[in-house]
Chains A and B, each alone.
Chain A
């Protein structure tokens, strides 16, 4: 637990300024594109202009004649070197027990292209410009074919992959089918909703980049890449794709400018760069441009669902049944199969005691970019569905939305849901009550009346969300099909002088780990964070780790760190006791000082670490010199951040423009390491959630399969003036299953906010069929139709 040392201004709970920000905001960060290697070449990818086509032939001759072009490599070259395809690492089984149908995903297309932007060949040249000139000069003879774009009808269309005749990757189910049917039979009310969760394009600030290197002397490969999890990338590239044995491949993910999930996955481009480096005998660098990112980064969300809620006469939820079509795009990306299943179906109980839930999800192939985890990953889709449905139920039953929620809240913990989650702790009333107080829920009618005098439609919307973080207990996810364990590692190296290096398997790409992880160490040892260095993102430096996604770095990564620190403390106290000549249980460590209670003698932290390395006078029981410890932490359970978001909007009925008048977020993240950073995470998550609700949508042309929203001219990224000043607060119940009591905060903003916004818009316009994003045109049209 947090130390009792109240004098520690850089410990757990302190709003310490981010150590890394000075380098980022002064341009001193070192991102992949900032790195250059001697003799480096540049790669540019030839990409499919078609959503679906056969490749009849590839003529490289004109490209090879472009000045500066070094090589042109295609799928046949990859196959000749027996380089394997990209993989999906989570096996999902269909209802009949059969395995999901994974179509081959070569890093360079062999005979078929399956989405606009699909990777066909790489042109390697002396300069980036020459590589691009070369890529334009490659002549690919395509045999254009009809594309499957529309998710709703894809199961009746021609197959995207031969392995699945009906474009269904899996038909998965979870929950209590018979009990759910029975619940519906005795229901007084059945509330139903058809709902779309719009496709999003991630748009990390730093586009993806990679540099592949091969050292002919040692036979070692190095890949610099924009990854959230370099060890996982190395494992996949070696064990599955076959680039090099794991110990001959180093993966470095240096400063990374945002990921939001999109940089978890092992992509074709980095695979090709590291393979091609040996092929051409020189480093190969590729930096994605923004247009390319729109086409080739994995997208997020993209569900169509029908859901029904069975409700008793007096408003108790009796059962929930859900049928979802989840667009997985043209190929299964690294973790795509798990997102609409175990990260979605398992959260459909929301904050409510619903005795029977049954969910069916069909994962669907279409000729669009692969869809995988994006901030929230499955949980925003679940929260959106549940919270829209509950609001509709309140409307249909003539109940206040807050009251109906309260009537059905889970209040006894642990609570086992019908969809295999065990909620360990929470206080859903506390966050709802606090949010209602902050937004002055009771005063809404007066505000609505005042808005009406200005010709504006005002609405209020609630979302009481829950999500699962701390992913995840390895044994549990292993039984559900995960191809990896989801523990985390940390090594704490105390130097002879008493400064500390932490090697963590977590990866920071904007989260502020260099500050928050140092705060944990500062708290544990009572030393200033300036004395702590956080090392991450390099497989040559750091022991195997699982990386950062799913809001797991606090709950899992910091737990490993806390445990490693505790091991260090145990050994250091033994050394101190020996030097102070007192029994070990008499030694305390406070504010970086070891003290013997009976003698009042002390030793500074650095004196003990020096003694550990000098080894002149260690306890005479065979203690090894040095002061460094390692911990691998495997969580016992998921963690369950939850909270309440309330949004108030004003709509201009003449134009359909929605302005967010007020937004309150009250979240329960368990223990907070740094409240300033957590608030920043909430703000960022809210921006993305509000973006999904009002602005963003990835749209493909239904016939041609071209990405219509392929640039910022058409894809509406949230800007500062689209967003309100947030009111943020927290109600805290500490997670009982990990040593620091952390739940996780990275995704909650994006999970909780979309239903709050849309419920508010629906309330304002009196029509809850409004879909995301609630653009001005869509709101205006909805008002026209109901007029």
Chain B
């Protein structure tokens, strides 16, 4: 780890000020990606601004048609929230499959989506549920938020404050984990709401993406069989030691079918 200045923000506005005054600052929420990166000397920020304890980023609110989760909520809190479990069981289940218990008790929703790791789980939920991402200055629809590999629509220093998830009629997330890292090789989140279906895939491409052909097929016939023959072209998919692009393409269909079946 290279030396850096550690600064703990007491408020959102102080975090903004600290960020603005740093030479090469980084924001840290749960630190579950940043700290390993620092330890491997792969990042050398001038300042690490800790926003993990900000009250403004806390809270889980469930109303009739929506779940609003503070960006600073750790995964375990979403996993274990009785209200979230009741409103969107697929979301709490997804949170319970992220990393391991230590990661789930430190890593945050905001940190996960702001990083736009192509193998992270939460982006699939955001995209499939049609979530709205709130920052201190504006709201961004999930469809516009994840722009590329580790890239989002966030401006430099812009902080995710909360995420609103509309409550679907049914939803499920099924993940095929990388045997080594347990990140998603393919994770498919399927959600149905008022006749509309959204299918979001994480792990397989450079960023989370939707599969229009599956959505259309499921809107006319919400069953696993309806998408059994729909394959995502492998051309743009990731290929690595653990899964070639064609294997990933195959797994997308398999996981999507299983997610549809899990929706009940």
Interaction A to B: yes
- Which residues of the partner chain A approach B1 to less than 8 Å between Cβ atoms? 129
Given A129-B1, A129-B3, A780-B247, do A712 and B241 touch, yes or no (CB 8 Å)?
A: no
- Which residues of the partner chain B approach A714 to less than 8 Å between Cβ atoms? 180-181, 241-242
A713 touching B241, Cβ below 8 Å: no
Cα separation A154 to B227 with both chains bound (whole Å) = 48
Name the residue on B nearest A715 (C-beta): B180
Q: B254 at interface (Cβ–Cβ under 8 A)?
A: yes
Given A713-B180, A713-B181, A775-B179, do A708 and B241 touch, yes or no (CB 8 Å)?
A: yes
Q: A601 at interface (Cβ–Cβ under 8 A)?
A: no
Interface residues of A in 770-787 (CB under 8 A from B): 775-777, 780-781
Cα separation A708 to B180 with both chains bound (whole Å) = 13
Given A129-B3, A132-B41, A699-B241, do A712 and B180 touch, yes or no (CB 8 Å)?
A: yes
Cα separation A254 to B40 with both chains bound (whole Å) = 28
Q: A407 at interface (Cβ–Cβ under 8 A)?
A: no
How many residue pairs link A and B with beta carbons under 8 A? The number is 42
- The interface bits of chain A over 700-717 (1 if a CB of B lies within 8 angstroms of the residue's CB, else 0) are 000000001100111111
- The interface bits of chain A over 121-160 (1 if a CB of B lies within 8 angstroms of the residue's CB, else 0) are 0000000010011001000000000000000000000000
- Which residues of the partner chain A approach B254 to less than 8 Å between Cβ atoms? 654-655
A695 touching B3, Cβ below 8 Å: no
Q: A767 at interface (Cβ–Cβ under 8 A)?
A: no
- Which residues of the partner chain A approach B183 to less than 8 Å between Cβ atoms? 713
Q: B81 at interface (Cβ–Cβ under 8 A)?
A: no
- Which residues of the partner chain B approach A717 to less than 8 Å between Cβ atoms? 180
- Which residues of the partner chain A approach B241 to less than 8 Å between Cβ atoms? 699, 708-709, 714
Q: B34 at interface (Cβ–Cβ under 8 A)?
A: no
Cα separation A699 to B1 with both chains bound (whole Å) = 27
Cα separation A780 to B179 with both chains bound (whole Å) = 14
Name the residue on A nearest B1 (C-beta): A129
- The interface bits of chain B over 31-45 (1 if a CB of A lies within 8 angstroms of the residue's CB, else 0) are 000000000110000
Q: B7 at interface (Cβ–Cβ under 8 A)?
A: no
- Which residues of the partner chain A approach B179 to less than 8 Å between Cβ atoms? 695, 716, 722, 775-776
Name the residue on A nearest B250 (C-beta): A780
Cα separation A781 to B254 with both chains bound (whole Å) = 15
Name the residue on B nearest A128 (C-beta): B1
Q: A497 at interface (Cβ–Cβ under 8 A)?
A: no
Main secondary structure of the interface of B (DSSP, over half): loop
Name the residue on B nearest A291 (C-beta): B40
Name the residue on A nearest B253 (C-beta): A654
Name the residue on B nearest A714 (C-beta): B180
Kindly provide the distance from the CB of B33 to the nearest chain A CB, expressed in whole angstroms: 12
B242 touching A712, Cβ below 8 Å: no
Given A132-B41, A654-B254, A655-B254, do A777 and B244 touch, yes or no (CB 8 Å)?
A: yes
Name the residue on B nearest A133 (C-beta): B2
- Which residues of the partner chain B approach A722 to less than 8 Å between Cβ atoms? 179
Interface residues of A in 474-505 (CB under 8 A from B): none
A777 touching B181, Cβ below 8 Å: no
B40 touching A716, Cβ below 8 Å: no
B180 touching A777, Cβ below 8 Å: no
B247 touching A716, Cβ below 8 Å: no
Kindly provide the distance from the CB of B107 to the nearest chain A CB, expressed in whole angstroms: 16
Cα separation A129 to B254 with both chains bound (whole Å) = 47
- Which residues of the partner chain B approach A777 to less than 8 Å between Cβ atoms? 242-244, 247
- Interface contacts beyond A133-B2, A695-B180, A722-B179: sample of 17 additional A-B pairs, CB < 8 Å, sorted by A: A132-B41, A291-B40, A655-B176, A695-B179, A699-B241, A708-B241, A712-B180, A714-B181, A714-B241, A714-B242, A717-B180, A776-B176, A776-B179, A777-B243, A777-B244, A780-B247, A780-B250
Residues of A in contact with B (beta carbons under 8 Å apart): 129, 132-133, 136, 291, 654-655, 695, 699, 708-709, 712-717, 722, 775-777, 780-781
Nearest first, the 9 A-B pairs at minimum CB distance are A716-B180, A713-B181, A716-B179, A654-B254, A777-B247, A714-B180, A777-B243, A714-B241, A715-B180
What are 30 A-B contacts defined by CB distance under 8 Å? A129-B1, A129-B3, A132-B41, A291-B40, A654-B254, A655-B251, A695-B179, A695-B180, A699-B241, A708-B241, A709-B180, A712-B180, A712-B181, A713-B180, A713-B181, A714-B181, A714-B241, A714-B242, A716-B179, A716-B180, A717-B180, A722-B179, A775-B179, A776-B176, A776-B179, A777-B242, A777-B243, A777-B244, A780-B247, A780-B250
